[in-house]
Amino acid sequence: MASGLVNMFRIPELRKRIVYTLALLAVYRIGIFVSTPGVDRAIMQDYLKTSSGGGGFLGLFNFFSGGALEQLSVFALGVMPYVTSSIIMQLMTVVVPSLERLQKEGEQGRRKINQYTRYGTIIVSVVQGVMLSQWLKGINNNGQSVVDADWAASVGGLGFTIMTILTLTTGTTFIMWLGERIQERGIGNGTSMIIFAGIVAGLPAALFSTGVGIKEGTYSGGELAVLGLTIVTVIFAIVFMERGQRRIPVQYAKRIVGNKQYSGQATHLPLKVNTSGVIPPIFASSLLMFPATLASFIEAEWMKPVQEALQPGTWQYMTLYVLLIIFFAFFYTAMVFNPVDVADNLKKFGGFVPGVRPGRETAEYIDHVLTRITFAGAVYLSIVCILPTLIQSFMSNQVPFYFGGTGLLIVVGVALDTAQQIEGHLITRHYDGFAGADGPRIRGRARTSQNVVAEEDTPPQPAPAA
């Protein structure tokens, strides 16, 4: 492990990528403390600590934005508008024929769809900026208003709204640009790394508050034992499931091409148990936060039951959350893995699954296996994500999101992905991986079954001609 960490900085290209990624993440964290004009973030922090809303969807919103909401930062919306726009575009590629054709046009089509996603991000940011500005105007914490009186009354009350929309939209666009630069020139997935940085930045504060609670006797011995055991169990389960595979045996027949004979070989088609990674919880949280946020901004009696029902911890919220996680697990898996294409590639290169006819029957068999393991992965994601609420029902004090659920899932999952990419750079340059030359290779979620199929579908090396 130590030699692997040292080798990371011996490769100039990898060293530049790591430094570049850390520099952009530092820029993001600095921007968290740049407040929007005309607000008092000290009052906002007190409001989130004392109000009941701070422990509900607003706390979850602040969690995903890396603490930007309590700072009333220009990054207060975080990457959620981009995630929401991505959800909408992926759904539209299924129902809109023109977008479906674009998706099948290769790199050029994907660039066009990404451009539409960027436009959608701006639209979502403007809508959420309007809602957030109106909500900030209505906050009154112990007689103190978050918005400065002069700003609230400027331009007939529209000055603060317009400025908030401009700053928040610009901040979200800048975060989106940072994520794309990390994806292109850095290491890891850009959007995931930004969410990862926000969660990890809040981890010391969570540890400190927990330590204070232990010192003051807030947590009992049994509660501490349950909390510690849960953290260890969840980390073990995440690593185990994220590395889990269902290997379908594949046999390649002997082939003669020209005067060369390609010998047959036995290999396998790895299908990951959790192909979708952390995408389902993020998508589900993003969708559930939107109606709850809308309900809190619209002062209508009929919207109050909606707001109360969609507070994290209620049975309605938990039920919808689990159902959405299962839906997005199947949906995203279907988006990134096509059994028909895999079966066609196997048939093209002379590969077949023993006991299954090539072509359509192979595609049906792969789809059947993938459906079963995807359901297992969706159940695993649901259990991990609702774990904080289950622990909260046992403990007398609030458990930080960092100690279970979506936060821990994102941290461990993104760490596995990044380590897998770094190890890939090391191995391609003839260095040992993190586990050494004879150790197991790290498999992150970025190495999907579709990528592995593309690698294993290459014809075997030629054997000496008979």
Asked if residue 92 belongs to a domain, the reply is yes
Q: pLDDT of 8-30, one tens digit each?
A: 777 888 889 999 999 999 999 99
244/388 same-domain check? yes
- CA dist 28 to 126, 128, 183, 188, 466, Å? 20, 20, 15, 16, 62
| Last-in-domain residue among 131, 159, 186 | 186
Domain check: are 107 and 251 in the same one? no
Instruction: Characterize the bridge pairing of strands 260-262 and 462-463.
Output: antiparallel
Q: How far apart are CA 35 and CA 56, in angstroms?
A: 23
Residue 280 CA, chain-centre distance (Å), reads: 8
Task: Say how far apart CA 102 and CA 108 lie, in whole Å.
Answer: 8
Burial of 460 (0-12, 13-18, 19+ CB in 10 A): middle
Q: Are residues 144 and 210 in the same domain?
A: no
Question: In this structure, is residue 194 part of a structural domain?
Answer: no
Q: C-alpha angle 69/299/75, rounded to 5°? A: 15
152 with 233, same domain: the answer is no
* Statement to judge: residues 152 and 217 lie in one domain: no
Calpha distance 214→202 (Å, rounded): 19
Partners of residue 140 on adjacent β-strands: 145
| Residue 38 Rama label (left phi>0; alpha psi -120 to 50; beta) | left
Report which of 296, 282, 220, 248 is spatially closest to residue 51, judged by C-alpha positions.
Answer: 296
Q: 40 and 111, same structural domain?
A: yes
Token pair, residue 310, equals 């969609």
Q: Domain boundary residue among 156, 186, 216?
A: 186
Signed CA dihedral, 92, 96, 100, 101: sign only: negative
Residues 309, 456 within the same domain: yes
- pLDDT at position 261: 64
Alpha carbons 149 and 78: distance in angstroms, whole number = 26
- Best CA proximity match to 387, nearest among 169, 230, 157: 230
Domain limits for position 388? 204-466
Which amino acid type is present at position 341?
D
Question: How many folded domains does the chain comprise?
Answer: 2
| Secondary structure of residue 223 in the 3-state scheme | helix
Kindly state whether residue 198 falls inside one of the protein's structural domains. no
Token pair, residue 1, equals 């492990």
Asked whether residue 154 falls in the same domain as residue 245, the answer is no
Instruction: Tell me: do 212 and 326 sit in the same domain.
Output: yes
Q: Is 12 among the domain residues?
A: no
Verify that 182 and 220 share a domain, yes or no. no
Q: What is the pLDDT of residue 134?
A: 83
Token representation of residue 44: 């906002």
* pLDDT the model gives residue 2: 56
Say yes or no: 297 and 411 in one domain: yes
Structure tokens at 146: 């978050």
Type and span of the H or E element at 250: strand 245-252
**Count of alpha carbons within 13 Å of 31, Cβ hemisphere only?**
25
Cα angle 323-328-332, degrees, rounded to a multiple of 5:
160
Residue 169 belongs to a domain: yes
Question: CATH number for the domain including 274?
Answer: 1.10.3370.10
- Residues in the chain with pLDDT < 50? 52-55, 446-466
Q: What distance in Å separates the CA atoms of residue 346 and residue 160, rounded to the nearest whole number?
A: 60
Instruction: Tell me how long the chain is.
Output: 466
Q: Which of 126, 158, 186 finishes a domain? A: 186
pLDDT at 366: 92
For the stretch 274-314, pLDDT in tens is 888 878 887 787 777 767 666 666 666 777 777 777 777 77
> How far apart are the C-alpha atoms of 61 and 135, rounded to whole Å?
14
CA distance linking residue 267 with residue 248, whole number of Å: 9
Q: Is residue 2 part of a domain?
A: no
Is residue 196 included in any domain, yes or no? no
Is residue 147 domain-shared with residue 222, that is, in the same domain? no
Which of 290, 243, 302 is closest to 420 using CA atoms? Answer: 243
Is residue 425 a contact partner of residue 407, using CB atoms and an 8 Å limit? no
Residue 73 domain flag: yes
